[in-house]
Homo-oligomer: A and B are copies of this chain.
Amino acid sequence: MTAPEPPVPSTARHGRLSYAVFQLARAHRGQGAAILRELDLHPGQELLLMQLFDQDGLTQSELLGCVGLDHSTVSKSLRRMQDAGLLTREPAEHDRRVMVVRLTDKGRALREPIARMWRELEETSARDLTDEEIDTFVRLAHRITASLTTRA
Contacts and interface: CB of A to CB of B under 8 A. Distances in A.
A144 interface: yes
Interface string A1-44: 01110110111101111101111111111111000000000000
Contacts of A11: 50, 53-54, 111, 114-115, 118
Given A67-B6, A115-B11, A27 B148 contact: yes
A149 interface: yes
| Contact count band on A | 35 or more
26 contacts: A3-B149, A4-B65, A7-B51, A9-B51, A10-B50, A10-B53, A11-B54, A11-B111, A11-B118, A14-B115, A15-B119, A20-B145, A22-B28, A22-B47, A23-B141, A24-B25, A24-B142, A24-B144, A25-B28, A27-B148, A126-B144, A128-B147, A129-B140, A129-B144, A136-B140, A137-B137
